[in-house]
Amino acid sequence: MADDAVKQTRREPELKRVMGPGLLLLFVVGDILGTGVYALTGRVANEVGGAVWLPFLIAFLVALLTAFSYLELVTKYPRAAGAALYTHKAFGIHFLTFIVAFAVMCSGLTSASSASKAFASNFVEAFDLSPADGFALTAIALGFMLLVGLINFRGVGESVKLNVLLTCVELTGLLIVICIGAWALGGGNGDLSRLTDFHSAEGDSAFFSVTAATALAFFAMVGFEDSVNMAEETKDPVRIFPKVMLTGLCITGVIYVLVSISSVALVPPAELGEGDAPLLKVVEAGASAFPLWIFAFITMFAVANSALINMLMASRLLYGMANERVLPRVLGKVHPTRRTPWVGILFTTAIAFGLIWFADLTALGGTTSLLLLCVFTVVNIAVLVLRRDRVDHNHFKAPTAIPVIGAVACAYLASPLSGRAAADYRIAGILVVIGVVLWLITFLYNRYVLHEDADLDPTNLRD
């Protein structure tokens, strides 16, 4: 009885369940329709020419396969921490769980930090300010990230409501591109024959060019996995997750293909691949009278949404893994009145500050995709391993062939065989080394605290 009393006094407040089907759908759609599609369309065109729609379609299909694995696991274990939790339950290896958690967190923080820098650049353009120096842009990005951190701390209700607004804005921007493309093509402008005008980058075969472009386009499809980290803030996650996640993925997949078709039909692939604002060129080419400053504002809000959602995910990931005894328990602290993981929010915001201040994030899109493809490979395998684990409630179950195909596809796209740039592996290698160092620090910390609290033994994992 005394032990129960001690556990009761230690029990943290639970996260607040505020997300119903509508908010969860907008979260999924808003997370996927983030910075990627606004910036990557031109880079994919550089790889495959006019067939830019094909890599986006293949990336959607690979993401859909992995989504089935996530759905089985999130409805089986409806708790925060996502891929790290599933790895932890399937393999029980503290090091592997930590590295998976670290990889997912890195992908979120690098994406959010790069989005903050993009926000600063678009802020200067939208308000037609004089060219800002590097320090001024960094200051704007840091101020924006501080605002995101405060919103995150304020509460998940406020965060997801802001996500609704920002998702509507970024969705409007993509619908503008699609409508301008349809209007221009209907008026006899544009060239649909470019859609089959394929060219290989740097003399590669067509197959390797498509797989390399798919590995890049996959960055635009990630995001659905962030939603499983919100499972403890979702109403009835076992029931609503399957239909909401699949609906969100299908909506974004259709939008991506239509945007890529409009883009390459209105702007030659070579021109589309120049610069960092490909969709702005599409709007200008299809409707020269359209106020471009409005689209600059839309882009600014789109990247803001990416930052908000990724920071929500990263803080909940730390909270979930602290509850699983994989990270120090302090990272699982929940604020008693705001009901948000405040220590995790402080920690992830501080890391994002460091990335914004010190890191050149222009080349991290491919690295983020690489890290997540490796994580997705592990998740697809974990589904099969955890089939032996029975739970006392009904849950979604994916056909066995789907996680098998998903694991093979993700492993291939993450491998050098896909034609991925060597820089992706160099950056990922540096991040993994940092992760190993942090794991060692965490492991030693847990061993030290063991002298005072046996519950923090990293081998004593929560059931």
pLDDT digits (tens, 9 = 90+) for 409-453: 999 999 988 877 787 888 788 878 887 887 887 788 777 764 444
Q: What whole-number distance in Å separates Cα of residue 333 and Cα of residue 13?
A: 8
Q: What whole-number distance in Å separates Cα of residue 353 and Cα of residue 403?
A: 37
Q: What is the pLDDT of residue 131?
A: 58
Average pLDDT for 180-189: 88
Q: How many CB atoms are closer than 10 A to CB 185?
A: 17
Q: Is residue 12 within 8 Å of residue 332, measured between CB atoms? A: yes
Average pLDDT for 281-285: 86
Residue ranges of domains in the chain: 16-456
Average pLDDT for 264-285: 81
pLDDT at 357 over 60: yes
In this structure, what token pair is assigned to residue 208?
A: 């390797």
In this structure, what token pair is assigned to residue 148?
A: 């995101």
Q: Which amino acid is at 451?
A: H
Q: How many CB atoms are closer than 10 A to CB 22?
A: 12
Q: What is the pLDDT of residue 457?
A: 41
pLDDT at 231 over 80: no
Higher pLDDT, 91 or 288: 91
Quote the percentage of the chain above a pLDDT of 70: 86
Q: Mapped to the 3 state alphabet, what secondary structure does the chain carry?
A: CHHHHHHHHHCCCCCCCCECHHHHHHHHHHHHCCHHHHHHHHHHHHHHECCCHHHHHHHHHHHHHHHHHHHHHHHHCCCCCHHHHHHHHHHCCHHHHHHHHHHHHHHHHHHHHHHHHHHHHHHHHHCCCCCCCHHHHHHHHHHHHHHHHHHHHHCHHHHHHHHHHHHHHHHHHHHHHHHHHHHHHHCCCCCHHHHHCECCHHHCCHHHHHHHHHHHHHHHHCCHHHHHHHHHHECCHHHHHHHHHHHHHHHHHHHHHHHHHHHHHHCCHHHHCCCCCHHHHHHHHHCCCCCHHHHHHHHHHHHHHHHHHHHHHHHHHHHHHHHCCCCCHHHHCCCCCCCCCHHHHHHHHHHHHHHHHHCCCCCHHHHHHHHHHHHHHHHHHHHHHHHHCCCCCCCCCCCCHHHHHHHHHHHHHHCHHHCCCHHHHHHHHHHHHHHHHHHHHHHHHHHHHCCCCHHHCCCCCCC
Higher pLDDT, 369 or 363: 369
Q: What is the pLDDT of residue 130?
A: 61
Give pLDDT tens digits for 106-143. Answer: 888 878 887 888 788 778 766 766 655 677 888 898 99
Average pLDDT for 343-360: 84
Q: What is the pLDDT of residue 412?
A: 93
Q: How many CB atoms are closer than 10 A to CB 20?
A: 14
pLDDT at 90 over 60: yes
Q: What is the pLDDT of residue 202?
A: 60
Q: Which CATH class is domain 16-456?
A: mainly alpha
N-terminal to C-terminal alpha carbon distance within the chain: 21
Quote the percentage of the chain above a pLDDT of 90: 20
> pLDDT-based confidence at 455, cuts 50/70/90?
very low
> pLDDT-based confidence at 180, cuts 50/70/90?
very high
Q: Is residue 116 within 8 Å of residue 144, measured between CB atoms? A: yes
Q: What is the pLDDT of residue 324?
A: 67
> pLDDT-based confidence at 48, cuts 50/70/90?
confident
- For the ranges 41-45, 228-232, 322-326, the one whose mean pLDDT is highest: 41-45
Q: What is the pLDDT of residue 346?
A: 93
pLDDT at 7 over 50: no
Cβ-based neighbours of 264, under 8 Å, separated by 6 or more: 45, 50, 52, 53, 194, 195, 272
pLDDT at 266 over 50: yes
Q: What is the pLDDT of residue 402?
A: 96
> pLDDT-based confidence at 69, cuts 50/70/90?
very high
pLDDT at 229 over 80: no
> pLDDT-based confidence at 2, cuts 50/70/90?
very low
The answer to whether the Cα torsion of 44, 46, 48, 50 is positive or negative is positive
Q: What is the pLDDT of residue 197?
A: 80
Q: What is the pLDDT of residue 276?
A: 61
